[in-house]
């Protein structure tokens, strides 16, 4: 069974049809299915052309807009607002649109479609298929822009943290970079799909400016994601460079200490051998002389290192 089905009139009023035909007596009929519905494949086979039916049943999709006969095959992506799921794990909606019918198929809940469904239940549905598509794309685009804006603000926080050298690498930085990658993966083809949609024959010319504006806003979102990707990469590089500087400094200090104590270790090892003939075995001042010699040698090594400007 479909999630919902409405006959939508010219004035936006709706009714629930009894028949399972693709179209009805109203201006157009909206069918909304879940991909997991076991009845969906048979319904698509009986009521839709083969290629659109196959497009609706694809388990994995990417944004596209293709004309087929008198209709449009449209795949779109939106921000995932489902509880407990990542926003950048975008939800998909598959659409087949003609002048008399709209068929939508989802895998996970798409809040933009839920908004349209509530409007339809309130007798305020989009009056035409073109208005339906414009309403859906508008909602999807607004949520995309909100998500991109949140990434922009987070990037600004990361950049501000760079002013304090003691600030560690933010734990959210790798996740934010992955968010940008995932969003851009689907928004870039979605930009192309919306540009194609804005000039589709099924869309009245009066609706073209609105769709072109939505395509432009998606383009701006993609460009902003490109900028955030570069900025986040720079932030990561700065943190990596800071860590490398600290490691180099620590390694240098250890090397200086080793340079000072290496000759002293040689002396202690040399005078620690247990064989006959070692000087000072019978002298009560031998140990003191050895210690003083090592202190003097350490001071000489420090002066040499300072003179060479190694430290």
Q: What three-state secondary structure class fits 14?
A: strand
Q: Is there a single domain that holds both residue 172 and residue 285?
A: no
Mean per-residue pLDDT of the chain: 86
Within-domain flag for 247: no
Final residue in a domain of this structure, among 198, 213, 242: 242
Q: Is there a single domain that holds both residue 229 and residue 273?
A: no
Q: What's the pLDDT tens digit per position in 165-219? A: 667 777 788 888 888 998 898 888 999 999 999 888 888 888 888 889 999 999 9
Task: Tell me the whole-structure pTM to 2 decimals.
Answer: 0.77
Q: Is the pLDDT of residue 43 over 90?
A: yes
Within-domain flag for 267: yes
Q: Is there a single domain that holds both residue 196 and residue 301?
A: no
How far apart (Å, rounded) are the C-alpha atoms in residues 126 and 116?
8
Tell me what pLDDT residue 170 has.
Answer: 79
Q: Is there a single domain that holds both residue 162 and residue 24?
A: yes
> Which residues span the domain enclosing 60?
4-242
Percent of the chain clearing pLDDT 90 (strictly above)? 48
Q: What's the pLDDT tens digit per position in 239-250? A: 777 777 777 777
How far apart (Å, rounded) are the C-alpha atoms in residues 34 and 105?
5
Q: Is there a single domain that holds both residue 41 and residue 109?
A: yes
Mean pLDDT of 71-95: 89
CB atoms near residue 303 (< 10 Å) = 10
Tell me what pLDDT residue 268 has.
Answer: 76
pLDDT band at 76 (very low <50, low <70, confident <90, very high): very high
Q: CA 280, 281, 284, 288: dihedral to nearest 10 degrees?
A: 50
Does residue 44 contact residue 22 with C-beta atoms inside 8 Å? no
Q: Is there a single domain that holds both residue 218 and residue 282?
A: no
């Amino acid at each position: 069974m479909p999630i919902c089905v409405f006959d939508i009139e010219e004035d936006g009023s709706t009714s629930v049809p009894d028949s399972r035909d693709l179209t009805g007596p109203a201006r157009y009929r909206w069918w909304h299915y879940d991909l997991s519905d076991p009845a969906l494949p048979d319904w698509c086979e009986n009521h839709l052309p083969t290629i659109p039916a196959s497009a609706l049943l694809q388990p994995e999709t990417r944004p596209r807009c293709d004309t087929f006969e008198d209709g449009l095959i449209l795949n779109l992506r939106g921000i995932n607002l489902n509880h407990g799921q990542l926003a950048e794990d975008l939800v998909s909606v598959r659409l087949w649109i003609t002048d008399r019918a709209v068929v939508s198929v989802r895998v996970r809940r798409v809040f933009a479609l839920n908004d349209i469904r509530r409007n339809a239940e309130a007798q305020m549905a989009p009056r035409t298929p073109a208005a339906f598509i414009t309403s859906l794309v508008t909602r999807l685009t607004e949520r995309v822009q909100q998500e991109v804006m949140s990434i922009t603000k987070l990037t600004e926080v990361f950049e501000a943290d760079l002013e304090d050298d003691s600030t560690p690498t933010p734990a959210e930085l790798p996740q934010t970079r992955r968010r940008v990658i995932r969003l851009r993966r689907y928004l870039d083809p979605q930009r192309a799909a919306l540009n194609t949609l804005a000039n589709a024959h099924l869309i009245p010319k009066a609706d073209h400016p609105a769709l072109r504006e939505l395509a432009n806003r998606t383009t701006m979102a993609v460009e902003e994601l490109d900028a955030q990707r570069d900025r986040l990469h720079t932030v990561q590089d700065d943190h990596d460079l800071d860590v490398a500087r600290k490691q180099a400094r620590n390694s240098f200090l250890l090397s200086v200490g080793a340079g000072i104590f290496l000759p002293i270790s040689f002396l202690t090892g040399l005078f620690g051998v247990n064989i006959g003939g070692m000087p000072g075995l019978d002298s009560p001042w031998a140990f003191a002389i050895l210690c003083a010699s090592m202190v003097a040698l350490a001071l000489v090594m420090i002066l040499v290192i300072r003179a060479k400007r190694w430290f």
